[in-house]
Structure 1
Amino acid sequence: MPETTPRGLTRLAFGGDYNPEQWPESVWEEDVRLMREAGVTMVSVGIFSWALLEPEPGVYDFGWLDRVLDLLHTNGVRVDLGTPTVVPPAWFYRDHPDALPVTADGVRLAFGSRGAICHSNADYRAAAANITTRLAERYAGHPALAMWHVHNEYGVPVSACYCDSCAAHFRRWLASTYGTVEGVNAAWGTAFWGQRYADLGQINPPRTAPTVGNPGQALDYKRFADATMRENFVMERDILHRLSPGVPVTTNFMTALSQCDSVDYWAWGREVDLVTNDHYLITDGRRTHVNLAMAADLTRSVAGGAPWLLLEHSTSGVNWQPRNPAKAPGQMARNSLAHVARGSEGAMFFQWRQSRRGAEKFHSSMVPHGGTDTRVWREVVRLGAWLDSLSTVRDTRTVADVAVLWDWQSWWAQNLQWRPSEDHDPRERADAFYEALYDRHLTVDFAHPEADLSRYPLVVVPALYLMTEAAGRNIAEYVENGGTLVVSYFSGIVDEHDAVHEGAYPGPLRDVLGLTVEEFSPLLRDQSVRITGPDGSELTADVWTEFVVPRGAETVWTYADGPAAGHPAVTRHRLGAGTAWYVSTRLPVQGLDVLLGWAVEDADVSTRADLPRDVEVVRRTGESGTYLFAVNHTASDVKVPLGADGTELLTGERAAGRLPVPAGAVRVVRLDG
């Protein structure tokens, strides 16, 4: 079995992307001195360095990288060594211009940014394999090497190419997937609009057409593009495993960012030795710490519950959003330790020293433009000391309370054109349900719809438009065996080919929910409806309504007005030893909280009502003990009930009864026993 922890790293990972090639060598000695001062344990090197390592075809210059790695090793800093295949050199595109990707409109993109790659291109694959081989042969035995970092953020900014090479590759993929053109025609339903193919050679990528194309084809092309990127990762990984045995191989994911929804991370999580993630706060006015928690929970889930590693986040503001505010004092540490609470084995940043040139020169770094006489640097040094004090947390696992079903391929299908309402956003529903669970202080695991759900008392399905028959059977078995299920509208509608399930909506969920849906009735923009509960209370909803017909389910809330007035809005169905709830409209987070109050009661889940809003308490447990993380995102001091005595690791003080957590602070208690 491949190693899953960075080689030679005995503490939590702390550091960032180190790009010494941006600076004269006279700066390198200062860099490592400051790394020692900050307590840096690992840095990522060489991710964007192909043009320096191979300045001309077949001409290599490893001398500068030798000196960097030797310097880091001498100073006790481990290295996450990148294969620089995310940005081939300019000479490569001069010699192989067809390796540049082509858009669906037929425009070939140009060199000059990053990630401009046709992943089907044979010349790119050969060149990537060559530079990876050269690096592995040279550095497999280097004492600084902790792990390998393949490529960078697959799928950003380009995941799919529509060139002729991709067309040929797509036909091979279809032949492997379906066997014959008849299989493709059946899966895509090409009898509609006369799209039937006589042979696979007639099929092209879903390029821009006069109107909406075939949704089955578009969905399969997303699968193909994802699989093609993954083929290239596996190619590099296998080279590294062969030439550098015992050193884990990873690539940095971006699990919860909508900018990277072209990647099926359930599939990718099975291919890496260690799951790593990049996370950046999306400062759009929402509570950024909730999305952070969601990203950490999702990444841990992709890792199968095992420890993972935050490989990039920011010390302060980023530079690529419309508005990029700085982090408040203490927020960097709070963000970092919140990731650790939810399973990360450290906190890494982009990047070590803030660039003076290039597209990301205004992106914050560990060493800012202002140098060491800055708040950011002082907070970096303090965070390094805190992470050092948490070394015993390594190899423990975060304890989850409930599960949320999540499927990237369902999102791909849902977000294709011509759906009942463009206002229905499945990601918004996932965020809303997660936020409601977060506000009830429940730690979430995410699960694939066909995964084992038996250990969770409550499973939430916020938006699962695409559902296989196997997933439907899995969910029904979960409820029959005593689980509590909450399903949101427009779930269970199509199969894996985007074909509507036979019979009434919601397909494989009809029996478990005890109902059918006769018709969808999305609302117009700015239109809302009221739903009435059994005690006469009202909730307000928008975007979506349905004509629900109970077939065994009881009506709990009813539409008071709108197109479905008088029809069930929220139902509950008892099946076997469990209970299944259905929500046929879009409730805001406050409304979801009311619903979840009923569901968690059915599931007999404790929701920590003794905790204030925006104070999260998460546990990690393992052979070294149980650790309680209390993260206070509020502007007020709070006290968190412990339940057991212990030692607070950041201050070294004993903790008992109610743990004081200052405003904006984090406390980590190793519980006795």
Structure 2
Amino acid sequence: MVNQKLYHGAAYYPELWDEKTIEEDIKLMKEAGINVARIGEFAWSQMEPAEGDINLTFFEEMINKLYENGIDTVMCTPTPTPPIWLSHGHPERMYVESDGTVMGHGSRQHVCTNNRYFRERAAIITEQIAQALGNLPGLIGWQIDNEFKCHVAECMCETCKELWHEWLQQRYGTIEQLNEAWGTQIWSEYYHSFEQVPQPGPAPFLHNSSLKTMYQIFSTEKIAEFADEQAGIIRKHSAAPITHNSTVFFSVDNERLFKNLDFASFDTYATSDSYQNYLFNCDLWRNLKKGQSFWIMETSTSYSASLESYATPHPNGYLAAEAVASYALGGQAFCYWLWRQQKAGCEQPHGSVISAWGKPTVGYQNVLEVEKARKEIEGIITDSIPLQAEAAITYSDRAKIFLKTEPHKNLNYRDLITDFYKQVLNSGIHRDLLPEGGNLDGYKLLFTPFVHYLSQDYLQKAKEFVDQGGVWIVGPITGGRTEHHTIHTDAALGMELEDYAGVETLYTFPIENTGSVGEAFNCSAPLGLWSSVFEPKNAVSVGTISGGLTPGKSFLTEHEQGKGKIVMLGSLPMGKEGEKLLQELILKYASDAGINRRTDVSEGTIVAPREKDGREIWVMVNMDGQGGRVSLPQKAVDILTKEEVPQGELKLERYEYRIIQF
């Protein structure tokens, strides 16, 4: 972003309130320390109540009024909620579910974003907004749309069907090549033209894996193209940076989505007992636009809720811990959904800063704590930079798609990768979550779990990483599928990977409940998930299987290549014993890789390392509310109190944060 400051903000919907309430809101925002507001994402019907009748005066005045009171604005394009004149009587414009259900007007995301008329009107309203508001002094950024594919996934309308066929032809060239790649002779699925290739709608049983996976990839590319189109329109009229608010939950490819945007932002409603999920997002979004600060565009002051559900409210003190952690881990903004509670609609019960009747909510005092912390640490954060980790975990939304097609027994990529991340987090190793296309320069240890398909580009990059001295841990459930979501025919995990790893994969099968126990590092644990069993060729067996169907065979191998090492993890150790074995594995290979950015810190407390003028700064935050400890390797100075802190154990109280410099 343009300004060197930390933002503390909220989503605001002034179009829903009268002038008196707006004046009161601005006064209360200033009292709470809110310095940025996000507006406009659901206001298309107010901006254009009838087709072609566009009036943006209210929003221009609103941005100016906020600016006059020291509050900046992130302006949104209003495309997630197309107005009634666009949808009424036009089922051909609406989103269609996989079962053929056509969405009606209401809620949001009810129109297909690929529909040509929608795109035409979306382009017109976006251009009008950018022209009218793009150079106002209070406008510091743009958000395109809102939470793409939050409530919907792959549309099955006729427009998408036409685009699907075009996309397939561009990708495969000829129908013969598609048939060969997908193996369509199975079950007589063979196609004679691209127009015959169906969408993965209703079927008596499961669709061909290639069809289902490719349709999901097609959908993620199309929504990213929509984002690119909106960004291109805005850039003709405004220099303010552009983002979108996403999550790992939505049906998008975040790496592709943010490719042509200026900075990354996300929404998170993790409860306090899932603080690891919150940290996961920080460690990922920091790397989606490397070198740019990320924004938390939405989080709750206390709890999320809708007409049908609610989450457990945060304990007092937790919100400030969240905010400090995000700022320390590379965030520039910590923003709430929402400022004033909505008086109508499906999210009336949702937590907010101010109630619908204008009084502080149960989370308000915690908002004041966040503002106090922001002021206290702002100079330190803006005057330093986050240190790159030495350990990286590959995150892949494409892997999420492969597991959505092939979930075995309800496997969920988000849960699998988050649980794996927790093991690295609990080891005290500073870590980055890297998208598949991320640069590996500066890393020493690379984890690639749950990535069914390893692209040629990724394989080449990872092999170069190992040759130059890195340690690459592959698996579990990695490498066993081709680009088209089919099985390799030269080797179980592909000959290139197996040759490089010095192994032959003897079998791949569901190993859980077979009595198979993995033994490694003086630990033993039951093995689970769909697993690969290895016969070392040039590799060395590090972990062997006892019991089950393949006793004496290997589930864990290592092989030196160049200056580094490739480690094959064929199965996931399960349960408490599995967690212990994984911890030993992580620490062993972190040591082999020469990892230095690891701290001796109690579980539930984090250390976020930063750097200023060659000196290391640690931001330490207790996240679990149990208090914690950090071992300091040498004496340091507490930047906030200016006091010297001796070498040794430093204790943190419940949700406390400390900032020291060595």
Contact persistence 1:152–1:252 (CA under 8 A): yes
**Deviation readout 1:174-216 (Å, 9 max, x if unpaired):** 2222333233223323233222222222233222222222222
1:415 aligns to what SS in structure 2? helix
* Alpha-carbon distance change, 423 to 547 in structure 1, aligned in 2, over 3 angstroms: farther
Residue number in structure 2 paired with 1:273? 262
Does residue 666 of structure 1 match 2:657?
yes
Of 173, 182, 187, the match for 1:188? 182
Of 240, 247, 256, the match for 1:247? 240
* Alpha-carbon distance change, 375 to 218 in structure 1, aligned in 2, over 3 angstroms: closer
Does residue 603 of structure 1 match 2:620?
no
* Alpha-carbon distance change, 426 to 53 in structure 1, aligned in 2, over 3 angstroms: closer
Of 137, 142, 145, the match for 1:143? 137
Residue number in structure 2 paired with 1:161? 155
**Deviation readout 1:535-561 (Å, 9 max, x if unpaired):** 4x4223333444321112222222121
* Alpha-carbon distance change, 125 to 425 in structure 1, aligned in 2, over 3 angstroms: closer
The alpha-carbon deviation at position 323 of structure 1 amounts to 5.2
Question: In the TM superposition, what are the counterparts of 1:256-655 in structure 2 within 5 Å?
Answer: 256=248, 259-260=249-250, 262-281=251-270, 287-319=273-305, 324-368=311-355, 376-392=363-379, 393-394=381-382, 396-417=385-406, 421-422=408-409, 424-449=411-436, 451-507=438-494, 508-523=496-511, 529-533=516-520, 535=522, 537-587=523-573, 588-606=578-596, 608=598, 610-622=600-612, 626-633=616-623, 634-636=625-627, 638=629, 640-641=631-632, 643=634, 645-649=636-640, 652-655=641-644
Aligned residue type for 1:268: L
The alpha-carbon deviation at position 530 of structure 1 amounts to 2.2
The alpha-carbon deviation at position 473 of structure 1 amounts to 2.7
Residue number in structure 1 paired with 2:225? 231
Aligned residue type for 1:343: G
The alpha-carbon deviation at position 653 of structure 1 amounts to 4.2
Q: Distance in 2 between matches of 1:226 and 1:637?
A: 42
The alpha-carbon deviation at position 413 of structure 1 amounts to 1.8
* Alpha-carbon distance change, 167 to 620 in structure 1, aligned in 2, over 3 angstroms: same
Aligned residue type for 1:662: E
Q: Distance in 2 between matches of 1:495 and 1:544?
A: 17
Question: In the TM superposition, what are the counterparts of 1:123-138 in structure 2 within 5 Å?
Answer: 123-138=117-132
The alpha-carbon deviation at position 170 of structure 1 amounts to 1.2
* Alpha-carbon distance change, 441 to 534 in structure 1, aligned in 2, over 3 angstroms: closer
Question: In the TM superposition, what are the counterparts of 1:5-24 in structure 2 within 5 Å?
Answer: 5-6=1-2, 9-24=3-18
Q: Distance in 2 between matches of 1:139 and 1:557?
A: 61
* Alpha-carbon distance change, 282 to 377 in structure 1, aligned in 2, over 3 angstroms: closer
Contact persistence 1:546–1:564 (CA under 8 A): no
Which moved further from structure 2: 366-375 or 49-58?
366-375
Aligned residue type for 1:517: T
* Alpha-carbon distance change, 233 to 333 in structure 1, aligned in 2, over 3 angstroms: same
The alpha-carbon deviation at position 509 of structure 1 amounts to 1.9
The alpha-carbon deviation at position 163 of structure 1 amounts to 1.2
The alpha-carbon deviation at position 368 of structure 1 amounts to 4.0
* Alpha-carbon distance change, 374 to 18 in structure 1, aligned in 2, over 3 angstroms: closer
1:494 aligns to what SS in structure 2? coil
1:314 aligns to what SS in structure 2? coil
Contact persistence 2:75–2:143 (CA under 8 A): yes
Does residue 207 of structure 1 match 2:201?
yes
The alpha-carbon deviation at position 102 of structure 1 amounts to 0.8
Q: Distance in 2 between matches of 1:667 and 1:196?
A: 64
1:600 aligns to what SS in structure 2? helix
Residue number in structure 1 paired with 2:215? 221
- Alignment size in residue pairs: 651
The alpha-carbon deviation at position 315 of structure 1 amounts to 1.0
Q: Distance in 2 between matches of 1:110 and 1:288?
A: 35
The alpha-carbon deviation at position 237 of structure 1 amounts to 1.0
The alpha-carbon deviation at position 406 of structure 1 amounts to 2.0
* Alpha-carbon distance change, 33 to 627 in structure 1, aligned in 2, over 3 angstroms: farther
Which moved further from structure 2: 263-272 or 538-547?
538-547
**Deviation readout 1:204-259 (Å, 9 max, x if unpaired):** 32222222222222222112111111221111111110022x211111121x3xx3
* Alpha-carbon distance change, 35 to 528 in structure 1, aligned in 2, over 3 angstroms: farther
**Deviation readout 1:42-93 (Å, 9 max, x if unpaired):** 1101110011111111123434323322221110110001110010011211
Contact persistence 1:305–1:398 (CA under 8 A): no
* Alpha-carbon distance change, 125 to 374 in structure 1, aligned in 2, over 3 angstroms: closer
The alpha-carbon deviation at position 581 of structure 1 amounts to 1.9
Which moved further from structure 2: 391-400 or 234-243?
391-400
Which moved further from structure 2: 564-573 or 149-158?
564-573
Aligned residue type for 1:635: Q
Q: Percent identity?
A: 25
2:527 aligns to what SS in structure 1? strand
**Deviation readout 1:138-179 (Å, 9 max, x if unpaired):** 112222111111100111112321111111111122222233
Contact persistence 1:43–1:79 (CA under 8 A): yes
Aligned residue type for 1:137: Q
* Alpha-carbon distance change, 207 to 375 in structure 1, aligned in 2, over 3 angstroms: closer
Which moved further from structure 2: 638-647 or 191-200?
638-647
Aligned CA RMSD, in angstroms, stands at 2.4
The alpha-carbon deviation at position 476 of structure 1 amounts to 2.2
Aligned residue type for 1:75: N
**Deviation readout 1:317-350 (Å, 9 max, x if unpaired):** 1115855110001111111221112111121111
Q: Distance in 1 between matches of 2:562 and 2:491?
A: 22
Contact persistence 2:302–2:362 (CA under 8 A): no
The alpha-carbon deviation at position 408 of structure 1 amounts to 1.4
Contact persistence 2:328–2:386 (CA under 8 A): no
2:204 aligns to what SS in structure 1? coil
Q: Which residues of structure 1 form unaligned runs of 5+?
A: none
Does residue 119 of structure 1 match 2:108?
no
Q: Which residues of structure 2 form unaligned runs of 5+?
A: none
TM-score normalised over the length of structure 2: 0.93
Q: Distance in 1 between matches of 2:515 and 2:421?
A: 22
1:55 aligns to what SS in structure 2? coil
**Deviation readout 1:113-157 (Å, 9 max, x if unpaired):** 111121221110011011111111211222211111110011111
Contact persistence 1:119–1:125 (CA under 8 A): yes
TM-score normalised over the length of structure 1: 0.91
Q: Distance in 1 between matches of 2:532 and 2:655?
A: 43
* Alpha-carbon distance change, 450 to 58 in structure 1, aligned in 2, over 3 angstroms: closer
* Alpha-carbon distance change, 305 to 494 in structure 1, aligned in 2, over 3 angstroms: farther
2:572 aligns to what SS in structure 1? coil
Which moved further from structure 2: 159-168 or 199-208?
199-208
Aligned residue type for 2:203: A
**Deviation readout 1:299-328 (Å, 9 max, x if unpaired):** 111112432111111111111585511000
